[in-house]
């Protein structure tokens, strides 16, 4: 029953070209949540709520705060969360993540919003991370454009790819964090506090 609803949300998102996380990516995050007993999650970029829902479904005592700035997607996420009866576990916030302050500390922060702003999200939200926490960032491969910018002539796409490359370099330089780049899904960075 629940599985059917999740699957519907996923297929609907894919059909509408909503850039939801890849299957291998969400599988990795779900395993991480289980293995590390993650209970409090902050997500930047809800889209229609798919990944927030998958994470919340790992356990009934998991809480997810997720932020979305696009009104239409926010409304759809709200609807999806309600349909699957996860309102108690998922706190969906309609805002630009760079303009709000979220109280509390989290075991896991999942950055999955505007790629050009990754560094800003990381810096801003690192104060919301527990000492034992982890920041996972999605789309570091950006469909292959990061490694192979010649795949496109689109200036915007190339610029974004460069931004992501710079972000990865910057991440690796952060002394407070130990970052591993995983070739999973569209590329995940796993940054743990040292
Ligand atoms: N995590 C989702 C996919 C998110 S797609 C999933 O896997 O199911 C990225 C989303 O981030 C988009 O819906 C976009 O509107 C949102 N976004 C981009 N910049 C943002 C910002 N500054 N604050 C909040 N949301 C943002
Ligand atoms: Mg993503």
pLDDT in tens, 106-148: 999 999 999 999 999 999 999 999 999 999 999 999 888 888 8
Q: Computed over its alpha carbons, how large is the radius of gyration of the chain?
A: 16
Strand partners, 181: 189
With the CA atoms of 33, 39, 44 and 49 taken in that order, what torsion angle do they form, in degrees rounded to the nearest 10?
A: 80
For a pocket test of ligand 1, which of 20, 22, 46 has the largest count of ligand atoms closer than 8 A to its C-beta?
Answer: 46
Q: Where are the beta strands (DSSP E) in the chain?
A: 40-44, 63-68, 90-94, 106-111, 129-137, 177-182, 188-193
Report field, pTM of the whole predicted structure over 0.95:
yes
Distances (CA, A) of 60 to 38, 40, 54, 63, 97: 12, 12, 12, 8, 26
* CA of residue 64 to ligand 1 center, whole Å: 15
As its CATH architecture, domain 2-140 has: 3-Layer(aba) Sandwich (3.40)
Tens digits of residue pLDDT in 59-104: 999 999 999 999 999 999 999 999 999 999 999 999 999 999 999 9
Q: Choose among 35, 14, 34: nearest CA to 23.
A: 14
């Amino acid at each position: 029953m629940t599985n059917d609803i999740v699957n519907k949300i996923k297929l609907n998102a894919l059909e509408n070209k909503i850039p939801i996380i890849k299957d291998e990516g969400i599988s990795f995050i779900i395993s991480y949540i289980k293995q590390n007993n993650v209970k409090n999650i902050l997500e930047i970029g809800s889209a229609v709520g798919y990944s927030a829902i998958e994470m919340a479904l790992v356990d009934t005592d998991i809480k997810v705060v997720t932020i979305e700035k696009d009104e239409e997607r926010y409304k759809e996420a709200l609807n999806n969360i309600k349909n699957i009866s996860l309102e108690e576990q998922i706190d969906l916030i309609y805002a630009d993540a760079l303009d709000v302050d979220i109280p509390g500390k989290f075991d896991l922060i999942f950055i999955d919003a505007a790629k050009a702003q990754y560094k800003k999200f990381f810096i801003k939200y690192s104060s919301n991370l527990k000492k034992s926490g982890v920041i996972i960032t999605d789309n570091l491969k950006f469909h292959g454009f990061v490694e192979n910018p010649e795949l496109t002539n689109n200036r915007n796409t190339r610029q974004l790819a460069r931004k992501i490359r710079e972000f990865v370099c910057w991440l690796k330089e952060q002394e407070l964090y130990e970052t591993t780049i995983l070739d999973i899904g569209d590329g995940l960075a796993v940054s743990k506090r040292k």
